[in-house]
Amino acid sequence: MTQVIADFKEMFLEQAQYRELLYQMTKRDLLLRYKQTVMGAAWAVFMPLVNTAVFSVIFTRVAPIDTGMPYPLYAYCGLFTWNFFASSLRFAVNSLTSNPNLVTKVYFPREIFPFSSALVSLVDLTVASLVLFAMMAWYRVPLTSAVVFLPAVLAVHILFTSGICLLLAMGNLFYRDVKYLFEIVITVWMFVTAVLYPTDMVSGRVGFLLKLNPVTPIIDGYRAVLLRGHSPFTPAFDAAAVISVGVFVIAWLLFHRAEFQFAENI
């Protein structure tokens, strides 16, 4: 336990020392993501909007479902928050292997790479949230005092996402199959999360397994504070918060202890 505390103290001090590098890496990755694109940062809004339109047709005309609110609002809130998670992971998985010169020749805490991936996607999340607020105004869904809980939901989301980013970046460095398996897993993961439909609609053993997914209560937490005007703190969300902290702490510790092997495996 003493060694773990010492490791975390060292890790936090390094992050504070290299915070300017994290900022520069994030700025670089943000510029590279939209370089030579006509729409630029508008892609952060365009894709969830297109998907919202497509699934709104399916779940309001073809196979109607009751979400307790206008379906486009339900779907967009799920999609733009899911996109933060998925895009963070998508960029993090190659974040170490795509920077071999920096990883092997310059010393700095390597977790800056996956952290930068999450921060860039956080910018996209912020941009995409503007459309959600516009949609809320259109459907006359007001913000309530429950919005004060939004930072708590965001913090849990960021912790869980950052933890998975660390694990993916490290895993892909040691086993290059990870980036291929990731695309399959992230596609399946989206459809077993309450992004497009309430998982409460699924019963039996499958429904029970879906409820074990920690991303669902996080996304439902956004809907609770923004669209329903409720507190996000349910037993499911509380469990997701504990899992998120655990995943982040364990992933960061494993990443830190494996850093000395990165150069020889890249």
Q: Mean pLDDT, to the nearest integer, of 145-165?
A: 96
Domain ranges of the chain: 2-265
Arithmetic mean of pLDDT, 193-213: 80
Q: How far apart (Å, rounded) are the C-alpha atoms in residues 237 and 219?
A: 9
- Note the pLDDT tens digit of each residue in 82-123: 999 999 999 999 988 888 787 777 778 889 999 999 999 999
Q: What is the pLDDT of residues 12-51, one digit of tens each?
A: 888 888 888 888 888 888 887 777 665 666 777 878 888 8
Side-chain-side CA neighbours of residue 101 (13 Å): 0
| CA 224/CA 211 separation, integer angstroms | 17
Tokens representing 151 are: 């930072």
Q: Which residue has the higher pLDDT, 164 or 52?
A: 164
User: How many other CB atoms are there within 10 angstroms of residue 56's CB atom?
Assistant: 18
